[in-house]
Structure 1
Amino acid sequence: MDATTAVPASTPPRIPPGPRGLPLLGVALDVQKDVLGWNLRTAMEYGPVVQYRFGPLRSYLVTHPDGLKHVLQDHVKNYTKDHFGYAIIRRIAGNGIFTSEGATWLRQRRLAQPAFHRARISAMGAQMVKAADELSEHWAAAQRSGERRLAVNDMMSLTLRIVGEALLGTDMREEIRAVADSFNTLNEQTVERFRTLRLLPPILPTAYDRTFREARRTLYEVVARIISLRRQRLEDHGDLLSMFMLAKDEETGEQMDDEQLRDEVLTMLLAGHETTANLLSWTWVLLHQNPDAERKLHAELDEVLGGRLPTAEDVPKLVYTRRVLDETLRIYPPIYSLTRKVVADDVVCGYQVRGGSSLYLSPYATHRLPEFWPDPERFDPDRFTPEQVAVRPRYAYFPFLGGPRQCIGNNFALMEGTLILATLAQRHRPRMVEGYTPTPETLLTLRPKGELPVTLSAR
């Protein structure tokens, strides 16, 4: 059987195949060593649904689009975030819209949805371009001096500033470094704790746990300041934080307390900047490696913009620019792996999955299945022409997930990415420094290891 072909639904349920792994550890060591490679190799070898042991836990890997539709859309209530992986993430972000479940999630989603309406997002475009234009001035100075820039750091600082201003109505420029450093610490530890099944909360008097607590305290203090300042001028500024602060429960009339607000602000700060920053960082890598695509991008920017700064109204015209981002998201999806808890026994792609188990999805692996992506390692933005998109299953490509839990900020992120790329790529060509090899670093999101040192050359 072709490893990427789903089993017909009429076939009686079968036990999924999969690697045996080691006693007690299962495949944990292989996953720790190379989670991306393991997911892809395993999907290609064993098929659409794979069964294995991760430590003592029965686990499944689902990569076929039919299975993804089943899990994320058609039977979403049977696959929840009541999983130890999310319990670990809650130690950072609390019970915000990303980690919450049930009625709490639904309430928060409904409150947040108006802030991500297309008209509101378009109104944020000027803030995005202004911030990118200011970074461009720093890049221009580096161009003249020959100074190296760390592109990952630049993209992180830029998107963190934009999230602060556009979604939270707060100027965070003075706190960007503290937030970024604290998040990096928590990011690294969270992934390590998950992969080593280190389930005990960070409460021990060890240097490791103290570092976690101190980094989290720094984030909490920044968020508390944001909330305190906004409470002093409590009015609707049209941003997400205003909506959360002014919203009242339909039944009780109660408003969100500071703890719930903190969790939502943390979620938007961390999830809202990290993913877009990594998307842009990988875009610079792939444009450097693919000069033909870079030339096509420059030609479109010249034709549409003619040297001026972009606006939100230009985004629909920047067709190839958007395809560049889409193809980058295919090759290096920021959310490269995610997990769910299986509530009750079910059948996925003709295979039986057991209730109480862990179920993993891998955008990284699905985006490389040759059945849907010929020559999958090749960078080709024209995979995303309307004609090409129409012949692929919906869930062959899911960088923002799908179904009810699809990322609420997907349109915000794509407009932000388009405007930043258009602003910077008009004027600069980031070139990776000699000797640097971009390799993926699998933290909570997928970023280039080594912060992507670049030199800048003019268009």
Structure 2
Amino acid sequence: MDAAAAEPGFIPAYPERHDGRLPLVTLLRTLRENAIGTWTRESYERDIIAYRLGFKTFVVANHPELIRHVMLDNAANYTRDPVGKRMLEPGLGNGLLTSEGTDWKRQRRMMAPIFQPRRLSGFAAIMTDSSAALAERLAVLPAGQSVDMAEQMMLVTLEIIARTMFGADAATDVSAVGRAMDRYQVTVRPNIPDLLGLPRWVPRPSAREGRAAMADMDAIIRDLIRRRRDRAAAGGELGGDLLGLLLAAVDEEGGGAMSDTEVRDQMATFFLAGHETTATALAWTWYLLAHDPAVEAKLQAELDAVLGGRPAEYGDYEKLAYTRMVVEEAMRLYPPAHTTARQAVAADRFGDLEIPAGANVIVSPWLMHRHRLYWTRPDVFDPENFAPERTAQRRRYTYLPFGAGPRICIGQGFAMIEAVLILATLAQRIAARMLPGAVVRPVGKITLRPMPGVPMLVAPRAA
């Protein structure tokens, strides 16, 4: 642990920080097993780090203005990192996370109306209903029976995303979709040929594994699309869930609707981004609360004052300021989307830094959120980091759990409302403590998962 460990406050788990760069073989192995385990101690202290790996130049952007330059000001010169694209495309196709250029702009235009506040208020009722049902189940667990809160958060967000995506088709085998997505995540890992910048014709076995893992999900989603289109052709409605809204979406500039393949790709993207990331953020939130009774007490005091025992509703979101601060701090310490990267199309310059064409620029929320230059006590759990006065003083682009620039997560509003409503509904009904002896560590795959889970003892909250 760093010197910060001697300061007051809970220091949550993080991987060992190395004093020097890892040997190549160790680096490649660590990247495949846990991406955040590769960062050296100086990575949390320096603004810009440039190095070469194989045939590629890499730049780690730890400077807020460099992040702004790459993600916003000169975003047209920086495309999605091809390594990341190749990892995700076998499962997500050409959806919003992986598309580029005119394809991405068209998709973004067509989907923006789906995430307007008037839509989110309708989805919020589903979030509250599913959360209240989970609270009922957890409140009656036998004394001494442990539960994995990471798994429980996955289950409740799975139910929520399924109901918001497939609400008009209640008989959908959502569990099969979830299993397919879990199998897919296992296959998504950096290939050594990609990391070394080798040509595309060099085999990448994980791409084949990813497509196979998603076969069940493809069959289910394509069947749903066919049934909805048949229903509409017979004079019925497409439905007000995400699937129906996607099928009804029209590009206001170019005209035309999405093809079945485009709808399939967006549904797969929504399922991953709208289920996995929120669940992961909430799992880490429970872990952090269990280690800081003072924060938990302040959270519960707000819930009592605002909710008075009833489930949280859409209209409560703005009132639950401290609850939101707790979630935001959990995403600072454990950003679900821990790393992203861009590739320079043409040579570029930032100050004295020359960025050659083809260079990969890495933007790591994991690093920025714990950076010594921009955060006081960066490793300490402190929701007051998001009090209005501190937020106003913080430099932009030092907190980016949803990305930044034109490609900032379109579902940011959905995710924050969902996380706050789930936490509020559960935390006023139950108290959760870590299982004695449990050790949790962050592992960076597609998302930053707590491994091997968050085992907890749960009991009804004392009146």
- TM-score normalized with structure 1 length: 0.88
Matching residue's letter, 2:341: T
Residue equivalent to 1:274 = 276
Residue of structure 2 equivalent to 1:214: 212
In the alignment, does 2:186 pair up with 1:179? no
Distance in 1 separating the partners of 2:363 and 2:170:
34
SS in 2 for 1:352: strand
> Does the 8 Å CA contact 2:48/2:60 hold for their aligned counterparts?
yes
Indicate the RMSD between aligned Cα atoms, in angstroms: 2.7
C-alpha contact 1:26 1:56 (8 A) present in aligned 2: no
Deviations 1:155-199, CA, capped at 9 Å, x for gaps:
112112211222443556863432233222221221253797498
What code does the residue aligned with 2:114 have?
A
Give the match for residue 388 of structure 2.
386
**Residues of 2 paired with 1:202 and 1:456: CA distance?**
50
Q: Conserved in 1, the CA contact under 8 Å of 2:90 and 2:211?
A: no
Aligned partner letter, 2:35: V
State the match for 2:57 in structure 1.
Answer: 58
Offset at 1:344? 1.1
Q: Is the 8 A contact 1:160 1:273 kept in 2?
A: yes
Pair 1:302 & 2:301 matched: no
Amino acid at match of 1:380: D
Aligned residues: 437
Query: Matched residues in 1 for 2:271 and 2:331: separation?
Result: 20
Alpha-carbon distance, 1:119 to partner: 2.0
Output the CA distance in 2 between the equivalents of 1:145 and 1:457: 7
Tell me the equivalent position of 1:159. Answer: 157
- CA pair 195-49 structure 1, distance change in 2 beyond 3 A: farther
Distance, in Å, in 2 between the alignment partners of 1:175 and 1:194 is 36
Residue number in structure 1 paired with 2:415: 413
Offset at residue 228 of structure 1 (A): 2.5
Q: CA 1:34–1:88 in 2, change beyond 3 Å: closer, same or farther? A: closer
Which residue of 2 is the match for residue 364 of structure 1? 366
Alignment of 1:164-313 (within 5 A): 164-170=162-168, 175-193=173-191, 197=195, 212-234=210-232, 235=237, 237-249=239-251, 254-313=256-315
Q: Give the Cα–Cα distance (whole angstroms) in 2 for the partners of residues 244 and 93 of structure 1.
A: 16
Aligned to 1:86: 85
Matched residue, 1:424: 426
Displacement of 1:19? 7.4
Deviations for 1:102-139, whole angstroms, at most 9, x for unmatched residues?
11111111111111111211221111000111111221
- SS where residue 70 of structure 2 aligns? helix
- Aligned positions of 1:39-118 closer than 5 A: 39=39, 41-44=41-44, 47-81=46-80, 83-118=82-117
Are the structure 2 counterparts of residues 397 and 370 from structure 1 closer, same or farther at C-alpha, using a change threshold of 3 Å? same
Maintained 8 Å contact 1:155/1:277: yes
Single out whichever of 272-281 and 36-45 deviates more from structure 2: 36-45
Question: Any unmatched runs of 5+ in structure 2?
Answer: 1-18
Question: What's the counterpart of residue 12 of structure 1?
Answer: none
Letter in 2 for 1:124: F
CA 1:351–1:64: 2 relative to 1, 3 Å: same
| Structure 2 counterpart SS, 1:90 | helix
**Contact 1:112–1:240 (Cα < 8 Å) also in 2:** no
Pair 1:195–1:392, CA change in 2 (3 A): farther
Say if 2:376 is the partner of 1:377: no
On the 8 A contact 1:338/1:361 being kept in 2, the answer is: yes
**Cα deviation code 1:394-446 (max 9, x no counterpart):** 10100001111000000100000010000100011222212211101211000
The amino acid that maps onto 2:183 is: T
- Normalised to the residue count of structure 2, the TM-score between the two structures is 0.87
Shift of 1:30: 5.5
2:38 aligned partner: 38
What is the Cα deviation at residue 254 of structure 1?
A: 3.7
Question: Equivalent residue of 2:397, what SS?
Answer: helix
Return the alpha-carbon distance in structure 1 between the equivalents of residues 459 and 192 of structure 2.
41
Alpha-carbon distance change, 30 to 448 in structure 1, aligned in 2, over 3 angstroms = closer
Percent identity (aligned): 37
SS at match of 1:149: strand
The 1:157/1:194 distance shift into structure 2, 3 A limit, reads: farther
Partner-residue secondary structure (3-state), 2:214: helix
Q: Which moved more, 1:210-219 or 1:316-325?
A: 210-219
Q: Distance in 2 between matches of 1:85 and 1:201?
A: 17
